[in-house]
């Protein structure tokens, strides 16, 4: 078993050396934003691997292959950020664990439960940090909902409705390639809310889902659902539904959004994580917190501490279980019970 | 403008007899029907197990001591009783040769609801289920737009309805009212059927607060035969909950959204609203709209007088009961129910 190299200098002596970070693949649409954030930080040395030659991440040190990224420093990177197509997460994360590098992996953590389990286990055994890239976890609006529920401000919470609707990603066709993405909208958009719900009320007991492919029927890959409703029940009796559809029209002024409404005996709370904007006809100027920056800050702090913080690889795995159960429900037409851990 | 089928202001030489309407059941919803009858200049009669005299005094209706006496005195019956008594009263009215408006749900049992539809056919009378949400201008506009292609092919529809548990004991008894699904959410189930057509499968879940059983929510997920998915979310909130209704209708070429809480036509600030009450959590505040209850009553009366057909017919009421009943079966079994 490999032990991760300590990355933090002794406090009070020398300033911490910059963290060596390799961003693995530009396949995900978030890669450019993460690269820009990391590049701007004085405490990070960044290398970006673009083996698929997307060539649209700029202003950073680029390499053409994963091997070149692993070899960019004599002692290898301290940490990697995995922004490949979903089906390729596993190989990159297992390689990081083998090399003792910490990992921030895009969501969904994996396209199958066994893959996600193997990734979590490998990082655990290697003693490296594994976190799942759920930026909305850090939204102040989500934080407010989490706090309100935890403090009992809503009384007994009995119902939650979440919507994560957006446009169909256009620049990256793999998002609707079932082989590479693991599915369609239900894979892409269920996990954000599943993670938030997990952080608010824990994992669900049952999952029911129904899907269709009426939206973007001409553009979505074969077999990829573009609309879906995922209903979760909890041992407490609470019911929650996630609308994961790619239902925002192409001409909308923003990419989409994430809303969550909680109902309790103490009243209702609804949040919209991307509501903050200056508007006008056809205008949408967002001014809310930079959630990518908050995510990366949490990850880099965790790397320096050598200890993962939320959203961890474990919650990433639990959300993959929710998606897998939803897919099984679509196949069977019936709700699916989640196995106890 | 809709013209009255029984105008009270026609030429004096041919003043027709006003429409004689018998309201059965004089609880909360019967009051909401009054402006429509007043608009039509109807002659009102009423019968109720309780409260008929007060209702008569307030509305100018003639109170009758028995249902038979009322049926003999009217042209049309408006059934506003608690749900369990709908079938018996509707049949009696049809058998007396009267056309009938019946509050939703037509019946708690789908076979019974279908039987009422057939009963009306056999009697040669018309039965209108009062699915008033079809007459709310927001929904009517959305339906018209969808039919005209505003969202392309509908794909995923969401409906929310929030209110307080009606302040009458029979609503809280699921055996009598059918609970939140059959009483409140049937409105949105009917909207989903109206906009996206028949349903193939129904899955429903309900959550009742353990600390306050009057507070409850339910989610009903419909998979339509057309492939469209609908989500209906009902909530009977804690005391003080304001009535609110929303929809979000997504298709492959557009999106339509409405939220009554975000309807900015008239806004009292918190200082002013402390002195101004609007709505009671049981029925929505319709003071800024063409009154949907009145529009409904007038449209039914117009159709009966040979005018344009109404936008909802008896079979729609039976279908809404059938799907709502399937949702209740899903609640009971935890299974997805095929319709």
Residue B16 has what pLDDT? 77
The verdict on A81 and A179 lying in the same domain is no
What percentage of chain B has pLDDT greater than the value 90?
80
Residue B239 contacts A where some CB pair is shorter than 8 Å: no
Model confidence pLDDT, tens digit, residues A1-32: 444 555 544 444 456 799 999 999 999 999 99
Q: Which of A117, A126, A139, A113 is nearest to A80 (CA)?
A: A126
Q: How far apart are alpha carbons A136 and A271 in whole angstroms?
A: 12
* Interface contact B203-A237, CB threshold 8 A: no
The verdict on A78 and A94 lying in the same domain is yes
Q: Which of A67, A75, A105 is nearest to A6 (CA)?
A: A75
* Interface contact B211-A265, CB threshold 8 A: yes
Burial class (CB in 10 A: 0-12, 13-18, 19+), A93: buried
Q: How far apart are alpha carbons A105 and A292 in whole angstroms?
A: 13
The verdict on A66 and A160 lying in the same domain is no
The verdict on A196 and A63 lying in the same domain is no
The verdict on A258 and A229 lying in the same domain is yes
Q: What is the CATH number of the domain that holds A234?
A: 3.30.360.10
Least confident interval from A182-191, B61-70, B214-223, B275-284: B275-284
In a domain, A14, yes or no: no
Region of B306 please: left (phi>0), alpha (psi -120 to 50) or beta: left
Of the pLDDT bands very low, low, confident and very high (cuts 50, 70, 90), residue B1 is very low
In a domain, A111, yes or no: yes
The 3-class SS string of B120-174 reads HHHHCCCEEEECHHHHCHHHHHHHHHHHCCCCCCEEEEEEEEEEECCCCHHHHCH
Q: What is the CATH number of the domain that holds A37?
A: 3.40.50.720
Q: What is the mean pLDDT of chain A?
A: 94
Residue B172 has what pLDDT? 67
The verdict on A265 and A150 lying in the same domain is yes
In a domain, A300, yes or no: no
Which helix (H) or strand (E) is B322 found in, with range?
A: helix B314-333
Of the partner residues A206, A238, A265, the one whose CB lies closest to the CB of residue B238? A265
Residue A103 has what pLDDT? 98
- Which of A100, A133, A166 terminates a domain? The answer is A133
Residue B283 has what pLDDT? 75
For residue A155, the chain B residue with the least C-alpha distance is B211
Of the partner residues A208, A238, A243, the one whose CB lies closest to the CB of residue B156? A243
Residue of higher predicted confidence among B177 and A6: B177
- Which of A133, A157, A174 terminates a domain? The answer is A133
Model confidence pLDDT, tens digit, residues A181-190: 999 999 999 9
Model confidence pLDDT, tens digit, residues B304-313: 999 999 999 9
Is the Cβ–Cβ distance between A306 and A106 less than 8 Å? no
Q: Which of B256, B225, B224, B260 is nearest to B242 (CA)?
A: B260
* Interface contact A158-B158, CB threshold 8 A: no
In a domain, A91, yes or no: yes
How many other CB atoms sit within 10 Å of the CB of residue B228? Answer: 24
Model confidence pLDDT, tens digit, residues A39-74: 999 999 999 999 999 999 988 999 999 999 999 999
What is the residue-wise DSSP string for A57-72? --SS-EESSHHHHHTS
Residues of chain A in contact with residue B208, where contact means CB-CB under 8 angstroms, are 158, 237
Instruction: Tell me how close the Cα of A196 comes to any Cα of chain B, in angstroms.
Output: 19
Residue B280 has what pLDDT? 62
Of the pLDDT bands very low, low, confident and very high (cuts 50, 70, 90), residue B177 is confident
Helices A89-99 and A113-126 pack at an angle, to 10 degrees, of: 10
How many other CB atoms sit within 10 Å of the CB of residue B208? Answer: 17
Instruction: Tell me how close the Cα of A29 comes to any Cα of chain B, in angstroms.
Output: 23
In a domain, A255, yes or no: yes
In a domain, A13, yes or no: no
Q: Is the pLDDT of residue A215 over 50?
A: yes
* Interface contact B233-A241, CB threshold 8 A: yes
User: What total of structural domains would you count in chain A?
Assistant: 2
Q: Is the pLDDT of residue B8 over 50?
A: no
Residue B277 has what pLDDT? 58
- Which of A113, A133, A153 terminates a domain? The answer is A133
Bond from prior residue into B105 cis (ω within 30 degrees of 0):
yes
Instruction: Tell me how close the Cα of B12 comes to any Cα of chain A, in angstroms.
Output: 55
The verdict on A91 and A235 lying in the same domain is no
In a domain, A326, yes or no: yes
3-state helix, strand, coil in chain B (%, to 5): 40, 25, 35
Residues of chain A in contact with residue B158, where contact means CB-CB under 8 angstroms, are 163, 243
Average pLDDT (B321-327) is 98
Least confident interval from A25-39, B134-148, B168-182, B311-325: B168-182
Is the Cβ–Cβ distance between B302 and B291 less than 8 Å? no
Question: Mutate which of A208, A232, A251 to disrupt the B interface (most B C-beta within 10 Å)?
Answer: A208
Is the Cβ–Cβ distance between A302 and A308 less than 8 Å? yes
Q: Reduce the DSSP state of residue A327 to 3 states and report it.
A: helix
Q: Which of A74, A57, A65 is nearest to A24 (CA)?
A: A65
How many other CB atoms sit within 10 Å of the CB of residue B106? Answer: 33
Question: Mutate which of A204, A205, A206, A212 to disrupt the B interface (most B C-beta within 10 Å)?
Answer: A212
Q: Is the pLDDT of residue A206 over 90?
A: yes
In a domain, A157, yes or no: yes
Range of the domain at A110: 19-133
Cα within 13 Å of Cα(A173), Cβ side? 6
The verdict on A109 and A191 lying in the same domain is no
Residue B205 contacts A where some CB pair is shorter than 8 Å: yes
How large is the ipTM? 0.92
pTM for this predicted structure: 0.92
Residue A314 has what pLDDT? 98
Residue B70 has what pLDDT? 97
Of the partner residues B203, B211, B218, the one whose CB lies closest to the CB of residue A156? B211
């Amino acid at each position: 078993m490999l032990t991760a190299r300590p990355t933090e200098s002794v406090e009070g002596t020398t300033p911490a050396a910059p963290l060596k970070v390799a961003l693995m693949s530009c396949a995900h649409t978030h890669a450019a934003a993460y690269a820009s954030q990391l590049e701007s930080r004085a405490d990070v040395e960044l290398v970006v691997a673009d083996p698929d030659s997307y060539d649209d991440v700029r202003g950073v040190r680029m390499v053409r292959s994963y091997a070149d990224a692993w070899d960019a420093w004599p002692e290898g990177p301290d940490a990697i950020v995995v922004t490949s197509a979903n089906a390729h997460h596993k190989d990159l994360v297992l390689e990081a664990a083998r090399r003792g590098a910490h990992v921030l992996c895009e969501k969904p953590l994996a396209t199958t439960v066994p893959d996600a389990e193997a990734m979590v286990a490998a990082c655990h055994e290697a003693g490296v940090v594994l976190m799942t890239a759920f930026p909305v976890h850090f939204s102040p609006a989500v934080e407010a909902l989490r706090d309100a529920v935890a403090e009992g401000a809503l009384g007994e919470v009995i119902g939650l409705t979440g919507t994560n609707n957006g446009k169909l990603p256009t620049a990256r066709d793999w998002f609707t390639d079932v082989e590479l993405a693991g599915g369609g909208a239900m894979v892409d958009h269920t996990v954000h809310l599943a993670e938030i719900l997990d952080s608010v009320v824990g994992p669900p007991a049952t999952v029911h889902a129904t899907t269709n492919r009426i939206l973007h029927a001409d553009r979505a890959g074969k077999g990829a659902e573009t609309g879906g409703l995922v209903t979760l029940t909890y041992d407490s009796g609470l019911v929650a539904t996630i609308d994961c559809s790619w239902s925002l029209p192409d001409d909308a002024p923003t990419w989409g959004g994430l809303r969550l409404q909680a109902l309790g005996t103490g009243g209702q709370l609804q949040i919209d994580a991307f509501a903050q904007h200056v508007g006008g006809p056809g205008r949408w100027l967002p001014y809310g917190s930079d959630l990518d920056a908050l995510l990366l800050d949490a990850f880099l702090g965790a790397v320096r501490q050598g200890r993962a913080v939320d959203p961890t690889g474990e919650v990433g795995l639990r959300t993959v279980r929710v998606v897998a159960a939803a897919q099984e429900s679509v196949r069977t037409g019936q709700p699916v019970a989640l196995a106890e851990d | 403008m809709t013209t009255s089928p029984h105008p009270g202001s026609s030429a004096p030489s041919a003043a027709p007899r006003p429409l004689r309407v018998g309201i059965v059941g004089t609880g909360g919803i019967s009051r909401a029907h009054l402006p429509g009858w007043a608009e039509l200049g109807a002659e009102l009669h009423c019968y109720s197990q309780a409260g008929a005299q007060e209702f008569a005094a307030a509305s100018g209706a003639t109170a009758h001591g028995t249902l038979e006496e009322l049926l003999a005195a009217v042209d049309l019956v408006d059934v506003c009783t608690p749900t369990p008594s709908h079938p018996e009263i509707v049949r009696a009215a049809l058998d007396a040769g009267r056309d009938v408006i019946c509050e939703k749900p037509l019946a708690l049992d789908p076979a019974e609801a279908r039987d009422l539809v057939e009963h009306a056919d056999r009697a040669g009378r018309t039965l209108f289920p009062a699915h008033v949400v079809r007459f709310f201008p927001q929904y009517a506009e959305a339906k018209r737009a969808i039919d005209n292609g505003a969202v392309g092919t509908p794909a995923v529809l969401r409906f929310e309805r929030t209110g307080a548990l009606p302040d009458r004991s029979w609503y809280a008894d699921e055996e009598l009212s059918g609970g939140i699904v059959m009483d409140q959410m049937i409105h949105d189930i009917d909207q989903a059927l109206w906009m996206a057509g028949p349903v193939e499968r129904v899955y429903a879940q309900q959550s009742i607060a353990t600390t306050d059983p009057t507070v409850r929510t339910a989610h009903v997920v419909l998979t339509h035969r057309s492939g469209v998915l609908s989500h209906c979310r009902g909530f009977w909130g804690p005391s003080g909950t304001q009535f609110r209704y929303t929809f979000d209708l997504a298709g492959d070429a557009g999106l339509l959204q409405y939220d009554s809480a975000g309807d900015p036509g008239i806004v009292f600030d918190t200082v002013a609203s402390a002195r101004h009450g609007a709505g009671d959590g049981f029925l929505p505040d319709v003071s800024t709209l063409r009154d949907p209850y009145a529009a409904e009553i007038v449209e039914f009366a117009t159709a009966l007088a040979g005018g344009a057909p109404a936008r909802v017919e008896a079979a729609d009421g039976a279908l809404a009961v059938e799907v709502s009943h399937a949702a209740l079966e899903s609640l009971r079994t935890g299974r997805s129910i095929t319709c």
